[in-house]
Structure 1
Amino acid sequence: MVLDCVVIGGGPSGLNASLVLGRAKKNIVLFDENKPRNAVTYESHGFITRDGIKPSEFKRIAKEELRNYPGISIQNHRVIAIIKEKQSFIIHTDEGNSYHSRKVILSTGLKDVLPRIEGINNFFGTSLFNCPFCDGWELKDRALVVISENERAFHMTKMIANWSKDLVVCTNGRMIFTEEQKELLTKKNIKVIGDEIEILQGKNGHLQTIKFKNGKEIEREGGFVTTGLEQASSLAQTLGCAINQMGGIKTDNFGRTNIQGVYASGDISITSPAQLIIAASEGSKAAMGVISDLVNEDF
């Protein structure tokens, strides 16, 4: 059987795309390798009716809802290759099976690349985060740190100042602020520490102390870090999808890439904040793009 679409990636984007496709009576397979970007996150926020939900519980509920639609099949396998034919695709999985589909939605997401600082992995997702809209409320009015080694530090610091006025910025030995930026931060009573960090210390995932290589120490209760981003899968590049300046996949407003029949949604495009609700909405739009194209081809 030739499927109408395969959706690769079982995050909020892929799940919502599958829902919209299933409700349009399309026969699809959702491939979920179950390696989400938010695996270290205890709670997800900012999604109305689901604020504070555990990511695993969000996924459980989503898959339960998808099973109401007979056209949706969920496979917990990794897609290792996609071969484009004239008007369709052959999808190969790690279990050795192959699927034939007219369309493909890539919702494979991104991976966060943390600064190389000892101990940082112990706190990321518990008391150190990368999205103030997702976790700013939980850290409001505390003694916070912004750890950044790149030019996004100034913007991040301004944003975090909305949730807490007790801020310290650590650049880990990098000179990333202009004189004008440093003057403005000083006026806002935000201290900038340019010394190299030796280690982050704390207990049970809760940050307590930042120790520097020159022997100095400061106490902080949590904070935010600017991470690097890289594609979690090479499938888009292998297919020849065009890449934007930020390293994401170029798409139109309905997820269409430059490769006919291939769509991308969610964090994979790196063009919008990495929030649950935004990723889900982009999955919905990509599914609408697929349905529109299938209808036009068959009409």
Structure 2
Amino acid sequence: MILDCAIIGGGPAGLNAALVLGRARRNVILFDNSRSRNAVTQESHGFITRDGVDPSEFRNLAHQDISKYPSVKIKDSKIQEVKRESPSLFQLITQEGHSYLSRKILIASGLKESLPNVNNIKDYYGKSIFSCPYCDGWELREQPLVIISENQHASHLAKMVYQWSKDLIVCTNGHKILSESEEMLLKKKGIRIMEERIVNLIGSDGKLEKVVFEDGTEVNRTGGFVTTDLVQPNEFAISLGCKLNKSGGIIVDALGRTNVEGVYAAGDTTLNGPSQLIISAAEGSRAAMGINYEFTMEEFK
């Protein structure tokens, strides 16, 4: 069977796209290798009716919703290669060597992130150290927090987090990344800046207690935020000829279309603005409508 659409990625964008396409009676397979970026997160916030939901619970609920539509299948499989088979068909090959043909492709595989180079930071990431203040700022409100950043986004993140806590320390982990004017602006608000390299984070069960610096200084903190470097987790967009923006996101139009005919993208993979569960889900819905619209126009030529 030739699919109407193959969705690569089982995050909120891919799931919502599958739901909308299923309701439009399109034959779809969603490929999900169960390695979402928010897997380390214990709760997801900012999604009305689902505020505080466990990501795995959200995923299970989404699968239940999608299961009502017989034309949509979910496969726990990783796509290894995508290529154009003909002007109107794409071939997808899984890691196991299985091949599928599809008329349209939706890339919703999210992003891969790298954390600051700090010893044992992964022990705290998703539990008391986070990347998005809109997602987790409320839970850390009015606490002594640390901002750990090795890139130019340090100042912006500090300014954002200041809404939730005024007790902030910006740590650049041995890097000189803040301009003199940025430093003055932050210090004017009582935000401390420490450029010394971090040698360790101390705490228990993922709950941060102290930040230890190379010079022996220890600072008590109960949580914090980090800036991460984000990259595409695969080469599908590049191999298909999709254009990327300056941040490395896939460029799409208002309906999720890329510059390559038949290829759509949605969610974090577009790096088109704030990253949040509800935004990714909305982008998946929008792209699905774009895909269905294109099919409709083709059928009435």
- The residue correspondences of 1:235-250 to structure 2 (distance < 5 A) are 235-250=236-251
Q: Identify the residue that residue 181 of structure 2 maps to in structure 1.
A: 180
How far did residue 151 of structure 1 move? 1.1
Measured in 1, the distance between the counterparts of 2:192 and 2:95 equals 50
Amino acid at match of 1:53: V
Counterpart in 1 of 2:43? 43
Q: For each residue in 1:30-57, what CA deviation from the matched residue of structure 2 results, as whole angstroms up to 9, or x when unmatched?
A: 1111100001000000000000000000
**CA distances 1:129-176 after superposition (whole Å, capped 9, x unpaired):** 000000000000000000111111111000000000111111111112
Q: What one-letter code is carried by the residue in structure 2 that aligns with 1:193?
A: M
The answer to whether 1:9 aligns with 2:9 is yes
Q: Deviations over 1:92-151 (max 9, x none)?
A: 112222111100000000011001110111101000000000000000000000011111
Q: Which amino acid is the alignment partner of residue 23 of structure 1? A: R
Q: What residue number does 1:27 align with? A: 27
1:38 aligned partner, one-letter code: N
1:254 aligned partner:
255
SS of the residue corresponding to residue 246 of structure 1 reads: coil
Which secondary structure state, in structure 2, belongs to the residue aligned with residue 146 of structure 1? strand
**TM-score with structure 2 setting the length:** 0.98
Work out the CA distance in 1 between the residues paired with 2:103 and 2:187. 57
The one-letter code sitting in structure 2 at the alignment partner of 1:81 is E
Aligned to 1:132: 133
Q: Any residues of structure 2 matched to 1:67-86 within 5 Å, and which? A: 67-84=67-84, 85-86=86-87
Deviation at 1:257, TM superposition (A): 0.8
Distance in 2 (CA, whole Å) between partners of 1:181 and 1:230 is 27
Cα displacement (A) at 1:86: 1.3
Task: Give SS of 1:96's match.
Answer: coil
AA at the equivalent of 2:247: M
SS of residue matched to 2:251:
coil
1:1-299 to structure 2, matched below 5 A, reads 1-84=1-84, 85-299=86-300
Query: CA shift at 1:224, angstroms?
Result: 0.2
- The residue type equivalent to 2:69 in the other structure is Y
What SS does structure 1 have at the residue aligned with 2:169?
strand
The farther-off stretch of 87-96 and 49-58 is 87-96
Residue type matched to 1:75 in 2? K
What is the one-letter code of the residue matched to 1:190?
I
The residue type equivalent to 2:197 in the other structure is E
1:162-192 deviations in whole A, cap 9, x for unaligned?
0001111111111122222212212211110
CA offset digits 1:70-95 (Å, max 9, x no partner): 11011111111112021111111122
Rounded to whole Å, the distance in 1 between the matches of 2:66 and 2:79 is: 20
Structure 1, residues 261-298: CA drift from partner, whole Å, max 9, x if none? 00000000111211000000000111011001111011
Distance 1:181 1:110 in 2: 29
Q: Between the two proteins, what is the percent identity of the paired residues?
A: 50
SS of the counterpart of 1:244? coil
1:220: how far off? 0.4
Structure 1 CA distance for aligned equivalents of residues 94 and 184 of structure 2: 55
> Take 2:121 and 2:74, find their aligned partners in 1: how far apart are those partners?
35
Q: For 2:288 and 2:59, how far apart are their aligned partners in 1?
A: 18
TM-score by length of 1: 0.98
Q: How many residues align?
A: 299
Output the CA distance in 2 between the equivalents of 1:49 and 1:29: 27
Q: Aligned partners of 1:247, 1:100: CA distance in 2, in Å?
A: 27
Q: 1:117 aligns to what SS in structure 2?
A: coil
